[in-house]
Structure 1
Amino acid sequence: MTTIAPAGTTAGPAMPDIAPAQRRVLRVLVASQILSGAGLAAGVTVGALLAQDMLGSTTLAGLPSALFTAGSALAAVAVGRLSHTRGRRPGLAGGYLAGALGSAGVIVAAVLNSPVLLFLALFVYGAGSATNLQARYAGADLAAPDRRGRAVSTVLVATTLGGVVGPNLAAPTGTFAETLGIPHLAGLFLLSGTAYALAALVLALWLRPDPLLLARAAAQPQTKTTSVQTPSASAEKAEKASGGVVPGVLVMVLTQLVMVAIMTMTPVHMHDHGHSTVASGLVIAVHIGAMYLPSPLTGWLVDRWGRMKIAAASGLTLLAAGVLAALAPGDSVVLLALALALLGLGWNFGLVAGTAIITDAVPLATRAKTQGLVDVAIAIAGATGGMASGIMVAATSYPVLALTGGALSLALLPAIAATAHRR
C-alpha cells in the first residue's frame, strides 16, 4: 500500500494513503449498515404493536418508539465519547452489541409478558439505532470537503437493503418464533439481535485503519504548518463553525421529530383499520427504503447545489407527506405507502444536508464528541415525537397528527432563510 509521511520530515511512522483507506472504510461500513438496517426495522415495525398488545391501549403505543429513541440518545453520547477517545471502530462495534442485547431483552419480555422489562429492553435496543446513524460520520471522516455529502450518502444507502427486507420478514419470523414458544410479534427481534451482533463483528474485525484516527494523523502536518494564526483569523474561524452547527442541528432535529411521530403511529392506524401485519410491514419497508435509497442522489445534490437548499427541500417534502397521510383513506395501503415514502425522502434530505453542515463546521479534534452530542438532540427529538404521537392520536386522530407534523416541518424554512441571509 502506498504510504505518505508528514511534510518536512525524513523519518517516522508512515501512514496509509488516504484514498485507498477511504475506499476500504466505506466498504466495511456498507457491509455493517446492510446488517444493522435489518436490526433497525424491528422496533419500527412491531414495537408499537407489541406494546399495544401487552397494554391493551393505544395511548401508550408510542412509548416503545420514545423509549428506544431515548435509549439512542444515551447511546449517542457513549458512542461519541468512545469514538473520540479510542476511534470509530470500538465506538460503533460497542453500540451495535448493545442493540443486540436489547433485542434479546425484548424477546424475554414478550415471553414473560412483562411490560416493564419490555420498556427497559427497548431502551437498550435504542443503542443500535444511534449507532446506525453515527456510522454516517465515519464515512465522512476521510472524505474531501466537496465529497462529504456523497460519502455520507454511501453509508446511508447501505441501510436500505436490510431496512427494506427486515419489515417484510415480520410474518415469517413471527411464525418461526411461535415454534420456539415466543409470541408472534416478537419474532422480528430475533432477526434484529442477530443482525446487530453480526454488524458489531464486521466492524470489530475489519474497520482498519480507523477513519477518525487516520484523519487526525493526516491532519497533524497541516496543523503544525498553520498553527500560528492571528487572533482575528481564529475568531473568524470559530464564528464560522458555530454558525454551521446551529442550522445543522435544527434541520436534523425537526426532520427527526416529524418523521418519528408520523411513522410510529402509521402501523397502529393501519391495524385499527383492519390491515394485517404484512401490510404494515410493506408500508414501513417502503418508508425505510425512501429514507435511505435516495441517499446517493441526495449526496450529489448536497455537494452540487449546497446544504441549505436541500435542507429547505426537506421541509417542503415533509409537509407534502403530512398532508397526504392525513387525507389518505384508512383502507388505502397505496396512498399510505406513498405518504410514508415522502416522509422518508424528506428525512433523507434533512439528514444528509444536516450531517454535511455539521461535519463542515466542527474541527477534527472535537468532531466525534460534538457529533455524539448532536445525535443526542436528534434522539431526544425522536423520543418526543414518538411519545407525543400516541397521546395525540388517542386524544384526536391520526390525520390531525399527520397535519400537525407537516405544518411543524415548515419551521425549517425561516431558519434556513435567516442563516443564508447572515452568510
Structure 2
Amino acid sequence: MAPNVAAYAAVQARTIRLLMIVEVVSGLGVAMGISVGALLTREMAGTALSGVAQSAAVVGGGVLALPATALMSRYGRRPGLALCYLTGAVGGLGVLGAALLDSIPLLFVGFFLFGAGSTAKLQSRYAATDLGEPQRRGRQLSLVVWATTLGAVVGPNLAAPLGGALAGTGIPVLAGPFAFAAASFAVSALLLTLFLRPDPLLLAQAAALAPAARAAAPGTAAVPEQAAGPEVAAGPRTGAAGPAAARAPGGSRPGEVTVVTAVAAPAPAEARTGADGARHGQTLGAAARAVLASPPARLGMTAVALGHLVMVAVMAMTPVHIGESHNAPDTLRIVGFVLSLHVAGMYGLSPVVGWLADRAGRVPVILGGVALLVAACAVAGTAGHDTARLTVALVMLGLGWSGTMVGGSTLFTESVPMAVKARAQGLSDLVTGLAGAGAGVLSGVVVELSGYAVLTLLAGLSTIPLIALALRPNTLSAVTDLKVAD
C-alpha cells in the first residue's frame, strides 16, 4: 500500500472510532430531549403548542448548521462539531431554567439552542465520509449513525428515573432530563476537541487543493497516481487528481499524521491565493448552485429532508397521543419504551442499510425507506390507542427514516464538489431542519383540529414528491453516471 493511502486509512479508522464513541454519549442527550420535550411543552403551554418545542429544536439545528459548517469549511470538523455540542448544552440548561421560571419564551429559546446537539450528530455522519473510499462511504457513514443506537435507546428509558432523581431539588420531573442531556453534550465537545486530530475535512481539502498548487509550481516533481488519497479517486466530480499534502506549513501537532509529497519548489503567491480561495471563499450561494446543478445531489437532499419531515411529524405527536389515554407516570414510562424501540429502528440496522446502499445502490435504498415510512403512517393511523401497534408503527418509521437518511446522505455527499462540500452539507441540514420544523409546528395543530389519524395520512402523502423525483429518468441517469465515475 502506498504511504499516503496507508496514512489516510489510519486517520479514517481512528476518526470513525472516535465519532462512534461521541455518538453514544451525545445520543443519550438527544434521546432524552426528544422523549420529554413535547410532554414538557404541553404541560407548560398546552397541546396546540406541544409540537413547537420539537420544531424550535429542529429549526435551531438547521439554522445553526450554517455558521457551524462555515467554521468547518475554514478550520475543519473539530471546532465546528465541538461548538455545536457546547451550544446544545447551553440550550439544555436553558430548558431547565425555563421550567423552573415557568417561562414559555425561554423554553423555546432553550429548545432552539438545544437543537445544535442534533446538528453536531448530523454533521458527524458527513465527517465519516471525508476520507472514505467511494465504494465504502455508505457503510462508514452508517457505522457512525448506528453508534447512536445505545445512547438513543437507553436515553428515553433514563428520562423518568433521572427526572425523578432531581425532583427533590424542586426541578420538575419532565425538566430534569435536560440537565443530564447538557452534561452529555459537554462531554462530547471535550472528546472531539481533544482527540479529533488530524482533522479529516482538512486532510480531504488538502487532497483537493494539492494538484492545483503543484501545477502552478515550477519544478514540481511528479507523484505516482496510486499515492492519491480517497477523495482524489472520486475523479472529475471533486476536481481533484493526485495525492494530498496532509498538513499546512508549520509542522504537525502531536498525534497528527503528516503525508509528504515531493515538491521541489513552493507554489507562487498567486497559486496559494487561488487555492485558499477555493478552500475558504465559497459562499452558501455557490453551494446552493452546485446542488441545484446536480440531479443526484437534489435527490439526496430531498430524501433526507422529506424522510425527516415524515418522521418528525409522526414521532413528535405520538407521545401526546399516548398521553391522551394514560395518566402522567404511565405516559412517561410507555413513551420511554415506545420511543426507545423507535430510535432502535432509526439507528440499529443502519450498518445493514449502509451495506445495501453500497451494494444495491443509493436510489433503491431511498425508495425502500419511503415504502417503510408510508407503511408506518398507515399502521399508526389505524392503531387507535393500541400501544403494541403504535410501537410497531414507530419501529417501521425509524427504519424508513434510516433508509432515506443513509441513502440520501451518502448520495448527497458524493455528488457535490469538495470546494463547496461543507457549505452544501450545512445547506442540506438547514433544509432538513426547516422541513422537520414545519412538520413539528403543523403536527400539533393538525392533532388539535383533526386528530392523530389525519396527521399520519398527511405525513404519508407528503412522500409523493420524493418518489416522483427518484423515478425521473434524468435523475436515474445522472446517478448511474455518478456510479460509473466512482
TM-score by length of 1: 0.92
Structure 2 counterpart of 1:395 = 449
Q: Would you say the 8 A contact 2:341–2:395 is kept in 1? A: yes
Per-residue deviation at 1:281?
A: 0.9
Please tell me whether residue 309 in structure 1 is matched to residue 364 in structure 2.
yes
Residue in structure 2 matching 1:149, options 112, 115, 138? 138
Letter matched to residue 258 of structure 1: V
Residue in structure 2 matching 1:296, options 337, 351, 354? 351
* Mapped partners of 1:345, 1:97: distance in 2: 29
Per-residue deviation at 1:223?
A: 5.3
Please tell me whether residue 44 in structure 1 is matched to residue 34 in structure 2.
yes
SS at match of 1:141: coil
Structure 2 counterpart of 1:230 = none
Per-residue deviation at 1:225?
A: 7.5
Please tell me whether residue 342 in structure 1 is matched to residue 389 in structure 2.
no
1:261-307 C-alpha deviation (Å, 9 max, x unpaired): 00000000000111520100111111111111111001000000111
Structure 1 counterpart of 2:339 = 284
Letter matched to residue 404 of structure 1: L
Per-residue deviation at 1:390?
A: 0.1
Between Structure 1 and Structure 2, the one with more helix by share is: 1
Structure 1 counterpart of 2:224 = none
* Mapped partners of 1:48, 1:234: distance in 2: 46
Letter matched to residue 415 of structure 1: L
CA shift in 2, pair 1:361/1:224, >3 Å: farther
Letter matched to residue 30 of structure 1: M
Q: Would you say the 8 A contact 2:60–2:116 is kept in 1? A: yes
Residue in structure 1 matching 2:152, options 151, 163, 170? 163
* Mapped partners of 1:313, 1:63: distance in 2: 30
Unaligned runs of 5+ in 2: 217-234, 240-289, 479-486
Structure 2 counterpart of 1:71 = 60
Structure 2 counterpart of 1:23 = 13
Per-residue deviation at 1:42?
A: 2.4
SS at match of 2:174: helix
Letter matched to residue 373 of structure 1: L
Q: Would you say the 8 A contact 2:291–2:424 is kept in 1? A: no
SS at match of 1:411: helix
Q: Greater shift after overlay, 385-394 or 403-412?
A: 403-412
Please tell me whether residue 266 in structure 1 is matched to residue 318 in structure 2.
yes
Please tell me whether residue 192 in structure 1 is matched to residue 192 in structure 2.
no
Please tell me whether residue 362 in structure 1 is matched to residue 351 in structure 2.
no
Letter matched to residue 399 of structure 2: L
Letter matched to residue 244 of structure 1: P
Structure 2 counterpart of 1:386 = 440
Q: Greater shift after overlay, 400-409 or 78-87?
A: 400-409
Per-residue deviation at 1:180?
A: 1.9
* Mapped partners of 1:149, 1:235: distance in 2: 18
1:112-135 C-alpha deviation (Å, 9 max, x unpaired): 111111111111111111111111
Please tell me whether residue 218 in structure 1 is matched to residue 207 in structure 2.
yes
Structure 1 counterpart of 2:298 = 246
Q: Would you say the 8 A contact 1:308–1:420 is kept in 2? A: no
* Mapped partners of 1:235, 1:138: distance in 2: 19
Per-residue deviation at 1:217?
A: 2.0
* Mapped partners of 2:351, 2:211: distance in 1: 30
Q: Would you say the 8 A contact 1:241–1:362 is kept in 2? A: no
* Mapped partners of 1:319, 1:263: distance in 2: 14
Q: Would you say the 8 A contact 2:237–2:416 is kept in 1? A: no
* Mapped partners of 1:279, 1:234: distance in 2: 52
Per-residue deviation at 1:240?
A: 10
* Mapped partners of 1:113, 1:60: distance in 2: 15
Structure 2 counterpart of 1:86 = 75
* Mapped partners of 1:251, 1:21: distance in 2: 30
CA shift in 2, pair 1:187/1:236, >3 Å: closer
CA shift in 2, pair 1:200/1:412, >3 Å: same
Please tell me whether residue 33 in structure 1 is matched to residue 23 in structure 2.
yes
* Mapped partners of 2:237, 2:78: distance in 1: 33
* Mapped partners of 1:241, 1:146: distance in 2: 23
Please tell me whether residue 256 in structure 1 is matched to residue 308 in structure 2.
yes
Unaligned runs of 5+ in 1: 5-14, 228-232
* Mapped partners of 1:240, 1:326: distance in 2: 35
The correspondence of residues 54-133 of structure 1 with structure 2, limited to 5 A, is: 54-55=44-45, 57-133=46-122
* Equivalent pairs, count: 405
Q: Would you say the 8 A contact 1:316–1:409 is kept in 2? A: no
The alignment's C-alpha RMSD in Å is: 2.1
* Mapped partners of 1:396, 1:351: distance in 2: 29
SS at match of 2:154: helix
CA shift in 2, pair 1:157/1:223, >3 Å: farther
Q: Would you say the 8 A contact 1:75–1:131 is kept in 2? A: no
SS at match of 1:155: helix
Letter matched to residue 278 of structure 1: R
Q: Would you say the 8 A contact 1:314–1:349 is kept in 2? A: yes
Structure 2 counterpart of 1:10 = none
Letter matched to residue 262 of structure 1: V
Q: Would you say the 8 A contact 2:238–2:417 is kept in 1? A: no
Letter matched to residue 301 of structure 1: L
Per-residue deviation at 1:411?
A: 2.9
Structure 2 counterpart of 1:12 = none
* Mapped partners of 1:354, 1:235: distance in 2: 18
* Mapped partners of 1:243, 1:114: distance in 2: 45
SS at match of 1:269: helix
SS at match of 1:338: helix
Q: Would you say the 8 A contact 2:310–2:439 is kept in 1? A: yes
SS at match of 2:132: coil
* Mapped partners of 1:53, 1:240: distance in 2: 43
CA shift in 2, pair 1:225/1:299, >3 Å: farther
CA shift in 2, pair 1:224/1:302, >3 Å: farther
Structure 1 counterpart of 2:257 = none
Q: Greater shift after overlay, 72-81 or 262-271?
A: 72-81
SS at match of 1:276: helix
